[in-house]
Structure 1
Amino acid sequence: MPHITVVYSGTVADAFDRPAFAKDLHETLVTVAGGRLQGCKTRFLRLEETWIADGSPYYAMIHAELALLAGRTAEVKRETTGAVLALLRRHTAVIPAVEVQFSVEWRDVDGDSYARHDEPKVTS
């Protein structure tokens, strides 16, 4: 934990620097939201088909969903989502004639219903 899912229009794939975004995102989640770096997991899902506004090909989107154990204050959530929004914008190059819509959502995960296991590394 935290678990992050980022969905993005395929039209922004070349403009969106996903590795740099993930690195900065994980650092932000540790420093702002109190996450554990070793627990940060980010999944990127490229959407080949999206319909935004009137369906024009001149719209694209990048949406990040942050899932963290419940218990953070509203202020921490606002600060974190604002920082993540800024990171999305920073790590996405401008695409001429395309309006990219960025969004971030925080989801609280109930600790009573979340389970995990860390498999130890096997060394030879």
Structure 2
Amino acid sequence: MPQITVDYSDIVEDAFDREGFARALHEATVEIAAAKPEACKTQFRPSAYTVFGYEDPGARGHAVVHVTIGLLAGRGDETKAKLTEAVVELVRTHVADTAFAVHASAEVRDLDPSYRKADR
């Protein structure tokens, strides 16, 4: 914990500073949600096919970056909202200007009580 997943349109790949974003995201998660630095882990998942509204997907005029953060239960709505606001701002600062629109979003959710992890 926290379990962080970043889903993004592949057209943003060259403009997205993923390493810098992950570091800043982990720092924000520690500061805002009281996570332990060594517990922060982030997976980046590019998507080759993004459809936006009624746009022809081949036009590739829009990109999506969506961040999901799973935390152990116990954080209040105010903490979750503060974290998602920080995450959206971090996306803005870690994606360079592009010829296409970039739509950033974030969600913080409680991990299910059945959550377990193992390290080897």
* TM-score category, normalised to shorter length: over 0.9
TM-score, normalization by structure 1:
0.90
TM-score, normalization by structure 2:
0.93
1: CA distance between counterparts of 2:118 and 2:11?
A: 36
Structure of greater Rg = 1
User: How many angstroms does 1:114 deviate by?
Assistant: 1.3
CA RMSD in angstroms comes to 1.0
Query: Which residues of 2 match residues 1-124 of structure 1 at below 5 A?
Result: 1-55=1-55, 56-96=59-99, 98-110=100-112, 112-119=113-120
1: CA distance between counterparts of 2:5 and 2:20?
A: 15
Structure with greater proportional helix content = 2
- Quick one: which amino acid aligns to residue 28 of structure 2? T
**Misfit runs of 4+, over 4 Å:** none
2: CA distance between counterparts of 1:61 and 1:117?
A: 31
- Quick one: which amino acid aligns to residue 19 of structure 2? P
User: How many angstroms does 1:19 deviate by?
Assistant: 0.2
User: How many angstroms does 1:8 deviate by?
Assistant: 0.5
Segments of 5+ residues of structure 2 without an aligned counterpart are none
- Quick one: which amino acid aligns to residue 83 of structure 1? A
